[in-house]
Amino acid sequence: MMLSTPKIKSSGIIVEYDGKRALHGIDLDIYPNEVAALIGPSGCGKSTFLRCINRMNDVIDNCKVSGRLMIDDTDVYDPEIDVVELRARVGMVFQKPNPFPKSIYDNVAYGPRIHGLTENKDDMDRIVKKSLKRAGLWDEVSERLDDKALGLSGGQQQRLCIARAIAVNPDILLMDEPCSALDPIATSIIEELINELRERFTIVIVTHSMQQAARVSQKTGYFHLGNVIEFGETNDIFTRPQNEQTEAYISGRIG
Amino acid sequence: MTDQATQTAQSKHLKKRYRAEKRFKFFGLAAICSAAGILLVLLGGLTQMSIPAFTHHYVTLDIAIPETTIQAEQVTDLAAMRKVNWRGMVRQSLRNEFPEVTDRRGKRAIGNLLSGGAGDALRDKVLNYPTIIGSTVAVALPLSDDVDLLLKDLIDRSLPEENRVISDRELTFIDHLEAADRIDRRIAWFLFTSGDSREAEMAGLRSAAVGTLLTMLVTLLFSFPLGVMAAIYLEEIAPKNRLTDLIEVNINNLAAVPSIVFGLLGLAVFINFFHLPRSAPLVGGMVLALMTLPTIIIATRAALAAVPPSIREAALGVGASPIQVIFHHVLPLAMPGILTGTIIGLAQAAGETAPLLMIGMMAFIVDTPMWIDDKATVLPAQIYMWANNPERAFQAKTAAGIICLMVFLLLMNALAIYLRKKYEKRW
């Protein structure tokens, strides 16, 4: 595993909001087809780091990112890079399910449509079907693709958001606490899904639940006050953490 | 003991709180009731005042139309139609009802019972049914405004003759016609179908209503695209810096500028500098558009800001460009709010008179304007001019004009609510 080249290579990523540092130089290597979980107390910078990967921080005023972040051979912060193209390669799923107030079909078809991925309606139908199947939602919605997406349950909505993200065929999926608004049953469905999606995508997931991190991820990074305290195999982090702070957090003494 | 003391103190405090809450509820209710009461009195008073204006009294006379007056094929010939003394014909027919009256004064008094527009009523009848030429037909002719008021009991018969606009002799003529069952009360369609007139019984709202519609059309076409684009740029695209802050403050201030100032601006810029036509809906609409712009910009910005950020993030996340985010997602979701703001702004503009004073739209316009560069006036200006007329019949007409304007505004607001409900999406 370690022999392959990292999919995402972050070296010295610093994020400043209004001159205040939120991240103090993050160095992380995330390898293809693995799930990397980022854990840590609120405000530690794990979501901020996640948003650096697809440059979602760009839309926030007064947010300055420096350092180097490579996806394969592409420098994400190269001024020449097209952010729109980047975001097509790096899909994102958010904390709260946020389907568009459109039909289920249109939600999934939106990405392929704006990127011009299809020639005709049949192609589009195929992409929508494939994406919904991969997101494990097809069997539940195949009969009502034209229904409003907002009529779905929270868990279904979140899977629809995953289908929407993977419809544009990205390499990487970023998930920002995707289960925090869901009940345990919906959560377990999404966790299973993450396990399946790993075969095709590199997944970075921010989570508040350490059990979730232990269940779904191969690598885990512990963030604290804008620093990565420890990053390594999930098993190692949870069974024999090298750092005292990490141990204190995962054993529930702080955080 | 202490427990009991705390309990009584607590229950005392609780009672006090309940009393305060009840008092507050009562004040709120009282405020609503007084507001509703004032509105009811206003609307009730207006409606009551306007009722007489919606009907008018007509006298039905048998009028002989000899072929010597005009040929059937000539009715579309304006010049030939104008040569015929229609007014004389209707007056003569009414005089024929009173063969015993032979003196000049009496004859003139009989003729004056009819409206100045009675001849036009006969002319229109002939124009519409040329086959009646050569026969005698019953034609309903409008009576003069004073006779109409008398028949509506708005002129007191018991007043001494010198204080009454209708003389005793005229009274006997009217009573005679009424006894012969020649007079009836009809709906005054002319209120909606004819333009302004100096004669109360001929004056209608049509030219002003069409003027208002044309003006609103111009206002909408100018203010909606300008306002919405300005708001989108300020809210979504412009960098947040001192310059945009300054622009924002000025837009908010613009909403509070007295409307007459916009009229002066229109006069100085649109008419004197660009030489656009005076008294035209084009200029009126542009001036009102300037006035409506801040309302639309502020409403649009509020509607855009109310779109949840999660939708923007979702769209950005799948790779939509910022402009695609705006046009595919944010704008459709903000549309109900934008439409509501626009229609409220337009309704405000529709009730405006002051800026139109300056550009000559407070004018006596009889002909219905056909396009935006024709001379025109608007409903509120028409109401103001009617209110200034000395004839008593104009009192009711003014109230009727106000009712029509309010119905117009009510319809616009209803449209705003309908559009909002229709395009509103929940997320």
Q: What are phi and psi of B254, to 5 degrees?
A: -60, -35
Contact B314/A at CB under 8 A: yes
Q: Is the dihedral of CA A185, A187, A190, A192 positive or negative?
A: negative
What does the pLDDT read at residue A106? 93
Query: In this complex, is the C-beta atom of B389 within 8 Å of any C-beta atom belonging to chain A?
Result: no
Q: At which residue do the structure tokens 């997602």 appear?
A: B329
Min distance B320 CA to chain A CA atoms (Å):
6
Give backbone dihedrals phi and psi of B243, rounded to 5 degrees, phi first.
-65, -45
The per-residue pLDDT for range A66-122, each reduced to its tens digit, is: 889 999 888 989 888 888 889 889 999 999 999 999 999 999 999 999 988 888 899
**Which has the closest alpha carbon to A164: A88, A228, A234, A223?**
A88
What pLDDT is recorded for position B227? Answer: 95
**Positive or negative CA dihedral for A136, A142, A146, A152?**
negative
On chain B, the residues whose CB falls within 8 A of the CB of A164 are: 314, 318
pLDDT digits (tens, 9 = 90+) for A195-247: 988 988 999 999 988 889 999 999 999 999 889 999 999 988 888 888 888 88
Token pair listed for B342: 């626009």
User: Does A56 contact B318 at a Cβ distance shorter than 8 Å?
Assistant: no
Angle at B375 between CA B374 and CA B376, to 5 degrees: 110
Q: Which amino acid, residue B158?
A: S
Q: Which of A87, A161, A167 sits opposite B316 (nearest CB)?
A: A87
Q: Are residues A115 and B316, on separate chains, in Cβ contact within 8 Å?
A: no
* CB-based contact B333 A101, cutoff 8 Å: yes
Q: Crossing angle for the helix pair A154-166 and A104-114, nearest 10 degrees? A: 20
Cβ proximity of B127 and B60 under 8 Å? no
B423 has a chain A CB within 8 A of its CB: no
Tell me, yes or no, if B390 comes closer than 8 A to chain A by beta carbon.
no
CATH topology of domain A8-250: Rossmann fold (3.40.50)
Beta bridge partners of A69: A10
CA separation for the pair A73, A63 (Å, rounded): 25
Cβ of residue B238 closer than 8 Å to a chain A Cβ: no
A–B CB contacts, 8 A cutoff, strictly below: 66
Q: Which two tokens stand for residue B370?
A: 């056909």
SS (H, E, C) chain B: CHHHHHHHHHHHHHHHHHHHHHHHHHHHHHHHHHHHHHHHHHHHHHHHHHHHHHEEEEEEEEEECCCCCCCHHHCCCHHHHHHCCHHHHHHHHHHHCCCCCCCHHHHHHHHCCECCCHHHHHHHHHHHCHHHCCCEEEEEEEECHHHHHHHCCCCCCCCCHHHCCCCHHHHHHHHHHHHCCCEEEEECCHHHHCCCCCCHHHCCCHHHHHHHHHHHHHHHHHHHHHHHHHHHHHHHHCCCCHHHHHHHHHHHHHCCCCHHHHHHHHHHHHHHHCCCCCCCHHHHHHHHHHHHHHHHHHHHHHHHHCCCHHHHHHHHHCCCCHHHHHHHHHHHHHHHHHHHHHHHHHHHHHCCCHHHHHCCCCCCCCCCCCCCCCCCCCHHHHHHHHHHCCCCHHHHHHHHHHHHHHHHHHHHHHHHHHHHHHHCCCC
Residue A1 has pLDDT above 70, yes or no: no
Complex ipTM? 0.87
- Amino acid identity, residue B244? T
Contact: A114, B319; criterion CB under 8 Å: yes
* In contact, B70 and B194? CB cutoff 8 Å: no
Residue B373: partners with Cβ closer than 8 Å, 6 or more residues away: B277, B280, B281, B282
- Interface test with chain B among A98, A103, A107, A168, by most B beta carbons within 10 Å: A98
Q: Does A236 touch chain B (CB under 8 A)?
A: no
Domain boundaries, chain B: 57-186, 206-423
The CA distance from B159 to A71, in Å, is: 100
Q: Which residues of A touch B321 (CB under 8 A)?
A: 84
Q: Does the domain spanning B206-423 belong to CATH 1.10.3720.10?
A: yes
Distance from CA of A221 to the nearest CA of B (A): 23
Residue B210 to residue B207: CA distance in whole angstroms: 5
Under a CB-based contact definition with an 8 Å cutoff, are residues B81 and B127 in contact?
Answer: yes
Q: Report residue A136 as tokens.
A: 């494990």
What does the alpha-carbon distance between residue B383 and residue B403 come to, in Å, rounded to a whole number? 10
Nearest CA in chain A to B426: A101
Contact B318 A96 (CB under 8 A): no
Task: Give the span between the Cα atoms of B373 and A208, in whole angstroms.
Answer: 67
Gap from A98 CA to chain B (nearest CA, Å)? 6
**B316 contacts in chain A (CB < 8 Å):** 56, 59, 87
Q: Which of B237, B240, B318 is most worth mutating to test chain A (most A CB atoms within 10 A of its CB)?
A: B318
Angle at which helices B206-232 and B281-305 pack, to 10 degrees?
A: 40
Instruction: Return the structure tokens found at A46.
Output: 């794990």
What are the chain B neighbours of A115 within 8 Å (beta carbons)? Answer: 319
- pLDDT in single tens digits along all 427 residues of chain B: 567 778 888 888 999 999 999 999 999 999 999 999 999 999 999 999 999 999 999 999 999 888 887 887 777 888 888 888 899 999 999 998 898 888 888 888 998 899 988 888 888 888 888 888 888 889 999 999 999 999 998 888 888 888 888 888 899 999 999 998 999 999 999 999 888 988 888 899 999 999 999 999 999 999 999 999 999 999 988 888 899 899 989 999 988 899 999 999 999 999 999 999 999 999 999 999 999 999 999 999 999 999 998 999 999 988 888 899 999 999 999 998 999 899 989 999 999 999 999 998 888 888 889 988 899 999 999 999 999 998 888 999 999 999 999 998 999 889 888 888 887 765 4
By CB atoms closer than 10 A (0-12, 13-18, 19+), residue A165 is buried
- Is B51 in CB contact (< 8 Å) with chain A? no
Residues B384/B361, Cβ–Cβ less than 8 Å: no
B278 touches chain A (CB under 8 A): no
A92 touches chain B (CB under 8 A): yes
Closest chain A C-alpha to B421 CA, distance in angstroms = 15
Residue type, B385: M
Contacts of A59 in chain B (CB under 8 A): 312, 316, 322
Is A38 touching B (CB cutoff 8 A)?
Answer: no
- A positions 61-90 inside 8 Å of B (CB): 61, 84-88
d(CA A196, CA A218): 13
